[in-house]
């Protein structure tokens, strides 16, 4: 969604690189380009004016003429102001002292409230709660049926005593739902309310009546991030007539300009609490202003990437794979397949790689990533025997022909996969050797690297004699005594970047990572060279 804004801001900062001194003209030119970028992104005009004024004031206070790198200092100031207009600190849900906690959803029709109710219920269920979805939208056709389906998909209970389609009293349904939740021990109630195509008195009055009946602990205004300037007008109307405590942005995966996300929090004074980032129920996340500001400025979102990796990767399996890859053992295609499947659980590869710093410059390559290519890679590996996955050097012509036939691909695709895998493994082992020779990766705390990786070449020679092959016969292979794997130490992903503490700042990450660039060999492997 923020692609165009990201490109324009990157272009504005590009002219500052390498300059040791900045004149007033340089600052004015940069701020003018930032203003145009924000207005083109459909950010509210008053928000843009306040943003530019705050940045200008901060630039003057920072005395950029004395800064060691004034260009980076401006980027830092813009980043801080972006965090401010996005709401500042991350806001957590407020829970009732005595359950159930009542969360009311309000917004226009088509903003995605019903689907969001299921996403929020699934997210809360993953946090250990037992939510109850309440069908209080009795006007929109089939809204009750939709909520039932969404609740079933999310594995969350649904309270829908009325058929809807204009039948039933939504205020009474909402009031009764609290008593039902208490009786069935649901600790959270999520009330889905009706919307309209536009703001009108009937919708606002019904929302106000429901709010008075259930006295919600949180009232979340659901806004379509694609509606631009209208988001501010709608939000102000709801705030005046009904009131809300937080904002939820939906359809952040769309191709709109995203001005609503940069306007609503500043105009209404209420924080953005959640964001819907896709069509699947799992495409839902808590909104972190600092991380979103980092994405807009193409600094990446390493912390979110780490959190997703921790959810989907097996720590012990990943540590063993890292030990093998960097020289402590033989990293085979089965290890590669396991890691690739775990990464796919995190979401589309383009989305995952887009969280890395500097990837905004490679957006075209990321958009051209075809997930079907990964399906073919999986089919090729699945067509191999365990021995072939462990040691690709035993793949002769007849084996490769058999694998290609089993996977439904050409032999050339099997050859390409094997060659790319061999080159990548060789490159990573060389990187492991450099790390060992330097006493570890720069910025990596002591003890974070697997032990015994200082001399991978000598270790590999000790483990395996020259010319020794792995038999494709399982019976013969069973007679071979495997060597004990190298002892490993758990790696803390955040500490791997030289960052300590629960909430590292973006400046810490920038300092630790520097200007992120993929190595040329890895770019070639990914088809980006």
Q: Examine the pLDDT at 172 and tell me if it is beyond 90.
A: yes
What confidence tens digit (pLDDT) does each residue in 441-474 have?
333 333 333 333 333 334 444 444 444 455 555 4
Give the model's pLDDT for residue 192: 93
Ranges 177-186, 261-270, 494-503: which has the least confidence = 494-503
pLDDT confidence tier of residue 267, bands split at 50, 70 and 90: confident
Most confident listed range (136-150, 197-211, 327-341, 367-381): 136-150
Ranges 45-49, 52-56, 171-175, 355-359: which has the least confidence = 355-359
Virtual torsion, Cα 151, 155, 158, 163, nearest 10 deg = 50
Neighbour count for residue 375 (Cβ, 10 Å)? 11
Of 119, 118, 127, the residue nearest 93 (C-alpha): 127
Of 341, 332, 331, the residue nearest 486 (C-alpha): 331
3-state helix, strand, coil in the chain (%, to 5): 55, 10, 40
Element (H, E) at 383: none
Q: Is the dihedral of CA 420, 423, 429, 430 positive or negative?
A: negative
pLDDT, average across residues 420-434: 71
What are the φ/ψ torsions at residue 486 (nearest 5 degrees)? -65, 145
Distance CA 418, CA 440 (A): 29
pLDDT confidence tier of residue 152, bands split at 50, 70 and 90: very high
Q: Which CATH class is domain 3-85?
A: mainly alpha
Distance CA 14, CA 78 (A): 14
pLDDT, average across residues 346-360: 64
Alpha carbon 147 to chain centroid distance?
Answer: 26
Distance CA 403, CA 171 (A): 63
Q: Examine the pLDDT at 435 and tell me if it is beyond 80.
A: no
Which one-letter DSSP state was computed for residue 216?
-
Say what percent of the chain tops pLDDT 90: 21
Most confident listed range (37-46, 149-158, 442-451, 517-526): 149-158
Q: Examine the pLDDT at 118 and tell me if it is beyond 90.
A: yes
Which one-letter DSSP state was computed for residue 105?
E
- Cα distances from 307 to residues 272, 337, 494, 499, in angstroms, run 20, 21, 10, 15
User: Which has the higher per-residue pLDDT, 460 or 415?
Assistant: 415
Of 285, 272, 287, 337, the residue nearest 311 (C-alpha): 285
Please name every residue paired with 285 in a beta bridge, in sequence order, or none if there are none.
275
What confidence tens digit (pLDDT) does each residue in 70-111 have?
777 788 888 888 888 888 888 889 999 999 999 999 888 888
Give the model's pLDDT for residue 131: 95
> Regarding beta strands 284-286 and 272-276, do their DSSP bridges make them parallel or antiparallel, or are they unpaired?
antiparallel
What are the φ/ψ torsions at residue 469 (nearest 5 degrees)? -115, 160
Give the model's pLDDT for residue 121: 94
Give the model's pLDDT for residue 308: 60
Note whether 35 and 48 are within 8 A (CB). yes
Distance CA 528, CA 518 (A): 10
What confidence tens digit (pLDDT) does each residue in 209-259 have?
999 999 999 999 998 877 767 777 888 888 888 889 999 988 877 655 667
What are the φ/ψ torsions at residue 274 (nearest 5 degrees)? -140, 160
Note whether 273 and 247 are within 8 A (CB). yes
User: Which has the higher per-residue pLDDT, 149 or 299?
Assistant: 149
- Cα distances from 353 to residues 246, 289, 290, 480, 521, in angstroms, run 30, 20, 19, 40, 17
pLDDT confidence tier of residue 486, bands split at 50, 70 and 90: very low
User: Which has the higher per-residue pLDDT, 190 or 227?
Assistant: 190
Give the model's pLDDT for residue 447: 34
Ranges 199-203, 389-393, 426-430, 463-467: which has the least confidence = 463-467
Q: Examine the pLDDT at 174 and tell me if it is beyond 90.
A: yes
Mean pLDDT of the chain: 74
Give the model's pLDDT for residue 8: 77
Q: Examine the pLDDT at 503 and tell me if it is beyond 70.
A: no
pLDDT, average across residues 492-513: 41
Domain regions of the chain by residue span? 3-85, 101-298, 310-464+483-525
Q: What is the pTM of this model?
A: 0.62
Give the model's pLDDT for residue 249: 87
Cα distance from N-terminal residue to C-terminal residue, the chain = 26
Ranges 24-33, 117-126, 248-257, 480-489: which has the least confidence = 480-489
Q: How many alpha carbons fall within 13 Å on the CB side of residue 297?
A: 23
Of 519, 304, 321, 502, the residue nearest 430 (C-alpha): 519
Please name every residue paired with 192 in a beta bridge, in sequence order, or none if there are none.
105, 135
Element (H, E) at 505: none
Q: 101-298, what's its fold?
A: Rossmann fold (3.40.50)
- Cα distances from 101 to residues 96, 125, 218, 361, in angstroms, run 5, 14, 8, 44
Q: Is the dihedral of CA 328, 329, 330, 335 positive or negative?
A: negative
User: Which residues touch 434 (CB under 8 Å, ≥6 apart)?
Assistant: none
User: Would you state the CATH architecture of domain 310-464+483-525?
Assistant: Orthogonal Bundle (1.10)
pLDDT, average across residues 299-326: 58
Give the model's pLDDT for residue 187: 94
């Amino acid at each position: 969604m923020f692609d165009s804004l990201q490109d324009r801001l990157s272009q504005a900062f590009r002219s500052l690189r390498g300059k040791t001194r900045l004149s007033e003209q340089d600052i004015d030119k940069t701020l003018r380009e930032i203003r145009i970028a924000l207005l083109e992104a459909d950010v509210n005009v008053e928000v843009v004016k306040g943003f530019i004024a705050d940045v200008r004031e901060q630039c003057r206070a920072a005395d950029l003429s004395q800064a060691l790198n004034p260009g980076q200092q401006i980027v830092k100031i813009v980043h801080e102001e972006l965090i401010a207009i996005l709401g500042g600190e991350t806001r957590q849900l407020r829970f009732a002292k005595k359950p159930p906690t009542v969360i009311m959803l309000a917004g226009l029709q088509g903003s995605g409230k019903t689907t969001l109710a299921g996403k929020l219920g699934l997210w809360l269920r993953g946090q250990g709660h037992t939510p109850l979805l309440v069908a209080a939208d009795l006007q929109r056709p089939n809204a009750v049926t939709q909520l039932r389906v969404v609740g079933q998909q999310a594995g969350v209970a649904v309270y829908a005593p009325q058929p809807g389609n204009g039948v039933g009293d939504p205020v009474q349904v909402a009031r009764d739902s609290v008593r039902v939740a208490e009786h069935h021990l649901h600790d959270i109630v999520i009330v889905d309310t009706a919307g309209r195509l536009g703001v009108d008195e009937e919708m606002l009055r019904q929302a106000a009546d429901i709010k008075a009946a259930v006295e919600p602990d949180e009232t979340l205004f659901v806004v379509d991030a694609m509606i631009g300037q209208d988001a501010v007008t709608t939000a102000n109307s709801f705030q005046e007539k009904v009131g809300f405590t937080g904002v939820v942005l939906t359809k952040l995966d769309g191709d709109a300009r995203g001005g609503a996300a940069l306007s609503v929090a500043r105009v209404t004074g209420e924080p953005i609490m959640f964001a819907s980032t896709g069509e699947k129920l799992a495409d839902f996340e808590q909104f972190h202003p600092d991380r979103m500001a980092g994405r807009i400025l193409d600094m990446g979102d390493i912390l979110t990437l780490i959190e997703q990796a921790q959810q989907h990767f097996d720590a012990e399996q990943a540590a063993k794979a890292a030990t093998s890859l960097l020289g402590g053992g033989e990293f085979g295609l089965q290890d590669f397949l396991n890691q690739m499947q775990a990464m796919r659980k995190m979401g589309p590869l383009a989305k995952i790689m887009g969280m890395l710093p500097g990837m905004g410059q490679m957006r075209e390559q990321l958009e051209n990533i075809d997930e079907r290519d990964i399906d073919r890679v999986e089919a090729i590996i699945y067509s191999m025997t365990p021995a072939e996955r462990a040691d690709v050097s035993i793949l002769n012509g007849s084996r490769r022909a058999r694998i290609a036939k089993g996977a439904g691909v050409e032999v050339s695709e099997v050859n390409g996969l094997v060659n790319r895998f061999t080159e990548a493994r060789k490159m990573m082992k060389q990187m492991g050797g450099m790390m060992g020779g330097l006493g570890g990766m720069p910025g990596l705390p002591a003890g974070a690297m697997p032990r015994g990786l200082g001399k991978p070449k000598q270790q590999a020679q000790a483990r395996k004699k020259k010319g020794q092959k792995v038999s494709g016969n399982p019976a013969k292979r069973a007679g071979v005594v495997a060597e004990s794997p190298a002892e490993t130490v758990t790696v803390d992903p955040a500490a791997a970047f030289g960052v300590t503490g629960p909430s590292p700042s973006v400046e810490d990450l920038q300092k630790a990572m520097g200007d992120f660039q993929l190595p040329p060999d890895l770019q070639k492997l990914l088809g980006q060279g």
